[in-house]
Structures are given as structure tokens and as C-alpha cells.
Chain A
Amino acid sequence: MVVQKSVVQSRVFGELEVNEENIITFEDGIPAFENLKKFVIVKEEDSPFLWLQSIEDKDIAFVIINPFDIKPDYEFDIGEEVLKKLEIESESDVAVFCIVVIPEDVKQTRVNLKAPIIINVHKRKGIQYLLDDERYPLRYYLFENLNSDEQK
């Protein structure tokens, strides 16, 4: 099989070489960026953080994190319409990430637990899924919660 490679411009990484097979399609885009459908995940070295980089707009890159790294008891049900849309057949298809917001005052860094990114890693399809779940806030303050966990 020939692996198609293309070079993508990115504000964060400069020139980024992308294997076509690693491109994840967000059919609905991401809220506020509905026109962008193609993303890749780029790992940060030695870090729990990753990037969700748009293929179509070099300026659009979100910092993401595996929510189970910061909140091991995170759980939710994936609605039927999403299972269908992402063609999810088993648990092993699924990867979950949450978008990280790093404000000017980095101590106030927060994670959006209310709207996780769900990816079918085999079909390379993704969605940002809005949970109407009171347990998980839109703004989960990372350091506040890290500290309180470690002090226990």
C-alpha cells in the first residue's frame, strides 16, 4: 500500500508532514469552526498534552488532553446517533480527548469536560460531543483540581 503523505502548514509546528491515513474527518466540524472537517493529532514530546491541528487552516490548533489522565472517573454514555455517525462498533474503536484552554494567566488553565472530542480511531472519524451532564463542567480548572487530588 502506498501511504500518501502531504505537507501541511501549521502555525504551531511549521511544516508538518501528514500521512493521509492519519487524517481524522469531523463531518460536522467543531462548534464555531464548522467549516473545518480535517484534523490530525500531533503529540507533544514528554507531555500529556496533544494538539488537534486543522489540515485546512494552519492557524487552528487546539491543545487536547486525555481526560482520564486528569480525572480517572470520567465517564459518559455515547448516544446512539453518535455511535452510528462515527461507525463505532466496539469500545476499542473509541478514543476520547478534551480541549484545554490556556488563558494568559496559565494558572487558570481549564479543560472542557462538558464537550469531549470522541474519535473512532479505526475509521478516523471524530466529533465534539456535547454532554448535557451536570457532573462535568465546561471549565474544569486543571491546577486547582490537581492540587486538591494530591493533597488527599
Chain B
Amino acid sequence: MLVLSRKEGDQILIGDDIIIKVISVEKDCVKLGIEAPKNIKVLRYELLQEVKNENVEALQGRKRLSKIKDLKEILSDEQV
């Protein structure tokens, strides 16, 4: 991994057309601006991890689904 020290306002060029700019540095938080072509996906890394975890948890059997159907009926009964 390439490790760089950069100051506020400094930029990094990746490939021909991706620019990362250090917008501000405050305490334990760095604000970065990223300029990339539209076909390049830019995402917070942890978001992908969270989605993966959620997808793994989403695998469930039919039993649970029929349970929430019951629950829905119970809920709508309560409203009546």
C-alpha cells in the first residue's frame, strides 16, 4: 500500500482522471473530495460491508415469511 502525507488542499492523482483532494483536516476526521469519471463507483467502504452483512442475514426460510404474514394480520386486526 502506498502511504502519502498530504496537507489541507493537497491533491492526489490516480490513473489519468481520478483526483482525491484533502478538503480539511480536523481532529480525527479528514474530509476528502473525490473527482472521478461517472463510470467509476465511489463508495464508503463500510457501506459495502454493511450491505454484505445484511444480505447474509436476509437468507431465511419460508417459515419466517409466513410468520410475518400472520403478524401483519394481527397488526391490521388491532387497528380495526
Contact = CB atoms under 8 A, between A and B. Distances in A.
A31 B52 contact: yes
B63 to A, nearest CB: 9
Interface residues of A, number: 40
B59 to A, nearest CB: 7
Interface string B39-62: 111011001101111111111111
B32 interface: no
A108 B70 CA distance: 14
Interface residues of B, number: 30
A54 B68 CA distance: 22
Contacts of A147: 75
Interface in B3-34: none
The dominant DSSP class at the B interface is: helix
A32 B52 CA distance: 5
A112 interface: yes
Interface in A37-87: 44, 47, 49, 59-63, 79-81, 84
Given A132-B44, A150-B79, A62 B50 contact: no
B61 A32 contact: no
B79 to A, nearest CB: 6
A31 B39 contact: no
A30 interface: yes
A62 B53 CA distance: 13
Given A112-B51, A143-B71, A101 B39 contact: no
Interface of B: 38-41, 43-44, 47-48, 50-62, 64-65, 67-69, 71-72, 75, 79
Given A109-B71, A138-B54, A150-B79, 17 more contacts: A31-B52, A79-B41, A84-B39, A99-B54, A99-B55, A99-B58, A100-B58, A103-B57, A106-B68, A112-B54, A114-B47, A130-B48, A132-B44, A132-B47, A138-B50, A138-B51, A139-B54
